[in-house]
A and B are shown apart, each in its own frame.
Chain A
């Protein structure tokens, strides 16, 4: 069950590494959770907890970030949805990157976190802007599919209409599917279970 995603403006935190895998986003010891909540403490655990860690989320200026900007292939590796729950528990509402791994992207959309795909030059511009401006923020407009800053810069992003609608309306996947129950039953009656018990 997800809440409808409304337009919002958020502080942006930069994660300047490509191929960030979900083992880094949430290490295995946090997969022992049996609920979806309370995983913020595991977010980027190893990077945050190295001695003298300069990791972005340890810096006070990024503590209240709600948007993460990253590099290519963000969220690759393990399918663990715990990675998304940890990001959400920390407070992130959107991740911006030139590309996302498939399973991670799907998991985000199922949990009301918006995956914003921008061109590499556009994500470069955001990384640069964060270096220059202390509290760099972006306004996310999902209906218009746009991100805008307060200095006149904006970028358009693509998103498939179905996940967009689900995010905007907070639609429950399972209820949507069960509207097709007759078709599911028809398929099942034509396809017997191929096992001998």
Chain B
């Protein structure tokens, strides 16, 4: 065996070293640093920071808002993927291309677009304002921002699975007289379910951490419309590092849980999906 081949089979250690160094410097070390810093004052102190009324509210508020977004996005995202895969209609290609726009547009710009569209001076905002519903600087605006920035996740997760899905089972069920709903819930849904969960998990983690669009749209009133990331930013700005750390660690932990969940779904669907 020649020398190069030997090295190749064992795996080039220099290349691996460089890769591990980069991941270590940019991902592992910062996570360890912030966790160490958070636990420096002891667990009781950290717990105290997390349960400060403002911090606790911002965390609860973020999770509730993200859950509302999730329900809306799972339904609309799956419906959009379904329509794009199964039906033909004018402008289909353009719309399919534009689905990714929320990923490409800077979040600050997203926030400003929503203000233009639904702000107090706009047509929509004016209409709802007359009926006593405030969209911008309140909860509906935040939910709207989250729906916008996470819209592509569910669509883009479900779409490829729908494209690959064989239709003979559905057609068999149809000829046997099954209703559309029965077909959807017994044949289509089980097939696309893992991909829906993947899209949902991705949008959920994005929603928990979203900052740019929300900071513009939310009004950021403590105990009313302040999400966790905005709370943390405020604490950093006013040099309350410790109280910011508590909330940051909770968000970081949630990100890890989502990652583990995503891994789990992937293994599960690899095992049973095919």
A and B bind: no
